[in-house]
């Protein structure tokens, strides 16, 4: 795959840390699929970043299975390996190679400011490894290895993208113009809270719905989901702007029926619509939309050999670009002589 002139290139990554959930789906995957299906899609690479997942302790031997499961989920959500490149990070060793070079370019001070590192170091006090600290350096390598211009991410990744731009600038200044400065393609989905009302959806907290969840489970979880905390009684007026269930209606009801979302908003404020019914309706929409994904996911998971074949095809496409970039980089940094002088 050669970079056709003027065409933008997208790169994004997703960690194989277990069953993808609503947060991953709305914050990333659904956008990737929309971009792929747009009238003039960009050239896009999506990577299952297993070496990033290694920064958090998990059961040995689980990463391969998680990667295959995630591949199945991404296909089930509509990613089409014929139109985009889908591959596993560890299948393309140039990621870690460029990661090392960038670790000789990036500044300690910049890494010390990363809020995600501070959060994760707090959560994993017994395993604050160097990889957790250098995580954004590897992420910069992921992106710049493909000279990507656009990176679809949520706002929690903006700081990491700044580092990628800084790596590009520092490298270019020191070794000559090589990398573009990638820009974030910010997700239009508003920040989602956990169903329990906590700051973030996460599988480990059990406050979200996974893509493989059965309809009864989805309904049960929605039933107890936290809404507007100020709305104690059925007749209290609601405040949709602070209600996570309303935000989710925007994601699941909005695209097909924006008028219904407007009506829900008005009826919540006037207390004509109660939380119980509002949540039931949301559960219906989620079940409706996740049902087919769940079925396709199960079908793909039953075909591990085909999943491996698809990842291998993706590897070949990604490796071609990665090899060319690294040949250029080795000459730029001077560990190899330029081809014409050999």
Nearest-approach distance from CB 140 to ligand TRP, in angstroms: 8
- 311 in contact with ligand TRP (CB under 6 A): no
Q: What is the DSSP string of 248-289?
A: HHHHHTTTT-HHHHHHHHHHHHTTSS-HHHHHHHHHHHHHHH
Interface with ligand TRP in residues 148-207 (CB under 6 A): 151, 153, 157, 160
- C-alpha span between 129 and 113 (Å, rounded): 16
Nearest-approach distance from CB 270 to ligand TRP, in angstroms: 39
Residues contacting ligand TRP: total by CB under 6 A: 13
- 132 in contact with ligand TRP (CB under 6 A): no
| The pairing of beta strand 9-14 with beta strand 183-186 | unpaired
- C-alpha span between 127 and 133 (Å, rounded): 11
In the block, residue with structure tokens 């008005």 = 266
Decide if 200 is catalytic.
Answer: yes
Span near ligand TRP by CB under 6 A; candidates 37-45, 138-146, 194-202, 291-299: 138-146
Which among 5, 120, 205, 221 is annotated as catalytic? 120
Question: CA 340 → CA 202, 259, 321, 331, 336, distances in Å?
Answer: 52, 64, 21, 11, 11
Tell me which of 9, 15, 36, 55 binds ligand TRP, using CB under 6 A.
15
- 36 in contact with ligand TRP (CB under 6 A): no
Tell me which of 13, 16, 20, 314 binds ligand TRP, using CB under 6 A.
13
Please choose, from the candidates 232, 231, 219, 302, the residue with its C-alpha nearest in 3D space to the C-alpha of residue 269.
Answer: 231
Nearest-approach distance from CB 44 to ligand TRP, in angstroms: 12
Token pair in block for residue 59 = 């059961």
Decide if 279 is catalytic.
Answer: no
8 A C-beta contact, residue 241 and residue 193: no
- C-alpha span between 90 and 76 (Å, rounded): 22
- C-alpha span between 268 and 144 (Å, rounded): 46
Tell me which of 52, 249, 279, 294 binds ligand TRP, using CB under 6 A.
52
- 11 in contact with ligand TRP (CB under 6 A): yes
> Using alpha carbons only, what angle is made at residue 94 by residues 48 and 153, rounded to the nearest 5 degrees?
40
Cβ proximity to ligand TRP: between 132 and 245 the closer is 132
Tell me which of 29, 63, 84, 143 binds ligand TRP, using CB under 6 A.
143
Of all residues in this chain, which one has the CB nearest to ligand TRP in the complex? 13
- C-alpha span between 302 and 280 (Å, rounded): 32
Which among 193, 200, 205, 221 is annotated as catalytic? 200
Nearest-approach distance from CB 9 to ligand TRP, in angstroms: 12
- C-alpha span between 171 and 165 (Å, rounded): 10
Please choose, from the candidates 48, 123, 51, 56, the residue with its C-alpha nearest in 3D space to the C-alpha of residue 310.
Answer: 48
Cβ proximity to ligand TRP: between 28 and 243 the closer is 28
Cβ proximity to ligand TRP: between 160 and 332 the closer is 160
Nearest-approach distance from CB 204 to ligand TRP, in angstroms: 14
Cβ proximity to ligand TRP: between 103 and 139 the closer is 139
- C-alpha span between 152 and 290 (Å, rounded): 22
Decide if 147 is catalytic.
Answer: no
Q: Which residues contact ligand TRP by CB under 6 A?
A: 11-13, 15, 49, 52, 139, 142-143, 151, 153, 157, 160
- Catalytic amino acids? 120, 200, 203
């Amino acid at each position: 795959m050669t970079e056709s002139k003027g065409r933008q290139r997208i790169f994004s990554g997703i960690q194989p840390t277990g069953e993808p959930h609503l947060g991953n789906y709305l914050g990333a995957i659904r956008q990737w699929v929309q971009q792929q299906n747009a009238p003039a899609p960009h050239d896009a690479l999506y990577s299952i970043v297993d070496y990033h997942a290694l920064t958090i302790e998990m059961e040995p031997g689980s990463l391969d299975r998680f990667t295959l499961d995630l591949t199945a989920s991404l296909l089930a959500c509509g990613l089409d390996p014929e139109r985009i490149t889908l591959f596993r990070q560890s299948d393309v060793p140039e990621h870690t190679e460029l990661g090392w070079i960038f670790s000789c370019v990036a500044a300690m001070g910049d890494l010390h400011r990363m809020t995600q590192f501070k959060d994760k170091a707090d959560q994993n006090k017994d395993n604050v490894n160097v990889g957790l600290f250098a995580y954004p350096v590897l992420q910069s390598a992921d992106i710049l290895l493909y000279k990507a211009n656009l990176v679809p991410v949520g706002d929690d990744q903006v700081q990491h993208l700044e580092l990628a731009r800084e790596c590009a600038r520092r490298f270019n200044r020191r070794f000559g113009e090589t990398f573009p400065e990638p820009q974030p393609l910010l997700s239009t989905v508003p920040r989602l809270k956990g169903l329990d009302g906590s700051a973030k959806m996460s599988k480990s907290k059990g406050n979200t719905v996974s893509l493989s969840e059965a309809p009864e489970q989805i309904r049960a979880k929605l039933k107890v989901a936290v809404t507007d905390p100020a709305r104690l009684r059925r007749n209290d007026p609601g405040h949709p702007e602070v209600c996570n269930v309303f935000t989710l209606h925007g994601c699941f009801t909005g695209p097909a029926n924006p008028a219904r979302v407007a009506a829900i908003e008005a009826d919540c404020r006037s207390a004509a619509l109660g939380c119980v019914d509002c949540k039931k309706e949301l559960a219906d929409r989620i079940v409706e939309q996740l049902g087919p994904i769940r079925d396709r996911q199960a079908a793909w998971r039953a075909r591990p050999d085909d999943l491996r074949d698809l990842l291998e095809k993706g590897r070949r496409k990604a490796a071609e670009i990665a090899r060319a970039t690294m040949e250029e980089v080795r000459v730029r940094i001077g560990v190899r002589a330029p081809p014409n002088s050999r």
